[in-house]
Amino acid sequence: MRSKSYFALFATLLLMPFASFSQTPPPNDNFTNSITLTGSDVTFSGSLAGATIENSQDSATFNSNEGESGAKGSVWWNWTAPATTTLTLQLSDYNNTVALNLGGQVGIAVYLQTNANSSTGFALPALGYTYLLNPKSPRSLSVPVTAGSSYAIQLVGGSPGGATFRLVAQDNPVIVQQPRSEVVSSNECATLYVAYASLNQPSCTFQWQFNGASIAGETAPMLSLTNIDGSMAGAYTVIVSNATGFTVSDPATLTVSQTNFPVTLAPVGVGSNAYVFARTGGPAFLFAVTGEVGRNYVLQSSTNLVNWVAESDFPIDWAGYPTRVFFETNSPYLVAVPFASVRSGKYFRVAPYSVVQPHAAICINNLRQIHIAKLLWWRDYNRGVTATPADADIQVYFPHQTLPYCPDDLYTSYDTSYVTADLADEPLCKWISNVHIFEDPL
């Protein structure tokens, strides 16, 4: 899910140059000056702008935990466990203080305070990996902690960026990605899902509810809804349980709307920094989009104001995926259109993203589920982005633990319908690949 904080950040990155390391070091730059955190649920932020490397802790730690070289700085916190429980560090993508630089590897690790070179767990996947740097794959790190013991928390990387984290001390599952509220029209499809953190993530169980009542048979981390009508509108929650207890998600509201909600596309300015160049190949015009909150929209272009098509030059998104579709939040969304597209005489507009063909809608929803299953498999087993899960690896994440197939597949088989692909690439439909395309920005 994209949060409004990421859009605010996107605007900042597009209009401003990246920070450099040639700044005053942060107050918690050195391990000996770490900032003290207290409590069982606390949010904290840190920036690597101006941070330096302490050879005794930082560089070796970054390399051994992240598998990457080039650490340029780190910052530190310390925390004493109030109880013997599970410590979870969650990258907060739900507030306005997230500030991630896209230019280098960034990781976070937890250590015993008495031995900062000995990790009590593994570092978070580097925030700079293209596939991992996006709200589609919420990062979290869970390690066991002992009452009265002190722990060191390190943010380290080769980029001057920063991040905001939520520290939670509890044994019950921590929900790190809440199900997303959506607005759809009749006969469309939707998939709700939850991402969670627990010491034993694969052992968690699930129960979906609709308006507070359990939905029979829906015991997977995903809930798929097809042929949606007004009777399916309402609040959906999921109960995530492990051996010690359970956590109930925030409600995701499904709205079935037929209204012609006005959408605006307003010029903002010109973006010409390194981020824009990397995504569009050169300078770009920036447009702010405001639409119906909870809907997916597609950017369209035309040369005659009559025939409109999805804009092929819409740049890749946060994760590096080619996409023309974006999700509307409470904040305006910025799109960057290359100069060449504007100068070619094109006109632009945004329209609700919907799939007219029923078979295409179902197949795209299946591709959405494959994407989510891969994301959850990666989280549970900490695999690299070049790993490709086997069918059995992802089957457990699907509703009813059943692998889907394309409605146009005469063999009605997952293997003849889809290419799963590795974690860095999106799944593909083998039957109508030019129409059955996953573009939904989860």
What does the domain layout of the chain look like in residue ranges?
4-170, 172-257, 264-347, 355-442
- Encoded tokens for 140: 């979290």
Which H or E run includes 150? strand 150-157
27-37 burial: b if 16+ Cβ within 10 Å, else e: ebbbbeebeeb
Partnered with residue 248 across adjacent β-strands are 239
- The alpha helices in 382-419, defined as continuous H runs, are 391-395, 414-417
In what side-by-side order are the strands of the sheet with 106-112?
Answer: 35-37, 73-80, 150-157, 106-112, 115-119
What number does CATH give the domain 172-257?
2.60.40.10
- Residue 211, Cα to own-chain centre: how many angstroms? 26
Partnered with residue 335 across adjacent β-strands are 287
DSSP 8-state assignment for residue 326 = E
Q: Give the per-residue pLDDT at 65.
A: 40
3-state secondary structure of 368: helix
- Encoded tokens for 152: 């060191």
Q: Give the per-residue pLDDT at 281.
A: 58
Query: Which amino acid appears at position 37 of this protein?
Result: L
DSSP 8-state assignment for residue 215 = P
Q: Give the per-residue pLDDT at 105.
A: 59
DSSP 8-state assignment for residue 394 = H
Cα torsion 370, 376, 380, 386: sign: positive
CA atoms of 28 and 91, how far apart (whole Å): 19
- Asked if 361 and 188 touch (Cβ cutoff 8 Å), the reply is yes
- Asked if 65 and 109 touch (Cβ cutoff 8 Å), the reply is yes
- Asked if 45 and 162 touch (Cβ cutoff 8 Å), the reply is yes
The C-alpha angle 120, 126, 132, rounded to 5 degrees, equals 125
- Encoded tokens for 433: 């690949």
Q: Give the per-residue pLDDT at 224.
A: 96
Q: Maximum Cα–Cα distance for the chain, whole Å?
A: 70
CA atoms of 300 and 307, how far apart (whole Å): 10
CATH class of 4-170: mainly beta
Q: Give the per-residue pLDDT at 395.
A: 97
Task: Give the CA distances from residue 200 to residues 17, 111, 190, 205, in Å, rounded to whole numbers and listed in that order.
Answer: 41, 20, 28, 11
What is the pLDDT tens value at each position of the chain, 442 positions in all? 333 333 333 333 333 333 444 578 999 988 888 999 999 999 998 888 888 876 544 444 444 443 344 567 788 899 999 999 999 988 764 333 333 433 455 677 788 776 554 444 344 432 222 233 444 456 788 888 999 999 888 887 776 767 788 999 999 999 988 999 999 988 899 999 999 988 877 889 999 999 999 999 999 999 999 999 999 999 999 999 999 999 999 999 999 987 778 888 888 877 655 445 545 556 777 788 888 888 888 888 888 999 888 776 555 444 444 567 778 777 767 777 777 776 678 888 888 887 767 799 999 999 999 999 998 998 888 777 788 999 999 999 999 999 999 999 999 999 999 999 998 788 999 999 888 988 776 6
